[in-house]
Amino acid sequence: MSVFKGTGVALATPCDQNGIMFGEVEKLLTKVISGGVNALVALGTTGEASTLTAEQKESFVRFVRKFSSLPLIVGTGGNDTKTVVENCILAEKWGADALLIVTPFYNKCTQHGAIEHYRYIAERVSHPIIVYNVPGRTGFNLLPDTMKQIAEIKNISGIKEASGNMVQIERCLAYGIDVYSGDDALTVPSMSMGAKGVISVVANVAPNLVSRMTDLILSGNFIKAGTLQLRLLPLIDALFSEVNPIPVRAALEMLGIKLGAPRLPMTEISESGRLLVRSAIEELKLL
């Protein structure tokens, strides 16, 4: 069974020197839920999980869980397999419905090592696992033939594919694997081929438009969905004009949702980037 269909929002994490900014989290959740998203994804790349403390992670996930009954997918990945298991057990305790686990990074692994990594984790957790392939960040590309073997392991529910390679996405789909687009710009092409949905950065900023787009695809209206995808492209380009989540942080601030100061090595957006983001937001009349 698929974890969700349609739009999953890769939540940003409002957090300052005092901890999670729960008032701002509530604003963000209200915005995306009223915008029609189908699932909430916490502690991913956009949520800056790598620079949150254990206490901040727990308090954020527990707050999101209490606020909404939508499917909650929690990022628990890492490059030490046993630590990932510990992260998964904690996320399950905090209320996660599913786990998003990125491929190992820095030490990386072989394709066989990736299979054993996910096998070890899946045998020790009870919740569905979405594998996350993002070679631009990890330096490792999980190949479709490898994912085919991983998908046969219990608890493996699908893959968030952010390689940017449509042929790779198609091969995963051809193997009958549940695929979620990890690239906002490829949502319509991926879903038109059979992907279940998108785990979206843009849905933080324009949840109604992204949700409308995935609803159109799921109802078979590919032409209207494609038109909306093209309409969103300037915003997508702006939100990835600098390293994610730098631009989306700026966009949310413009829309009245404070995220706190960036945690190094993240920095504030450049002035040219800020102008690009503002222009894209204004073009869509989001301000």
Domain boundaries, the chain: 6-221
Q: What's the rounded Cα separation, in Å, for the pair 151 and 164?
A: 20
Q: What is residue 159's three-state secondary structure?
A: strand
Establish whether 31 is a catalytic residue: no
pLDDT value at position 220?
Answer: 96
Catalytic annotation, pick one of 5, 31, 57, 160 = 160
| pLDDT over 90 at 84, yes or no | yes
pLDDT value at position 81?
Answer: 98
Catalytic annotation, pick one of 132, 175, 196, 285 = 132
| pLDDT over 90 at 33, yes or no | yes
Structure tokens at 20: 């999670």
The answer to whether the predicted template modeling score (pTM) of the entire model surpasses 0.75 is yes
Establish whether 285 is a catalytic residue: no
Q: What's the rounded Cα separation, in Å, for the pair 58 and 238?
A: 31
Architecture of domain 6-221: Alpha-Beta Barrel (3.20)
Query: How does the average pLDDT of the chain come out, rounded?
Result: 97
| pLDDT over 90 at 1, yes or no | no
Q: Scan for tokens 């438009």, then name that residue.
A: 209
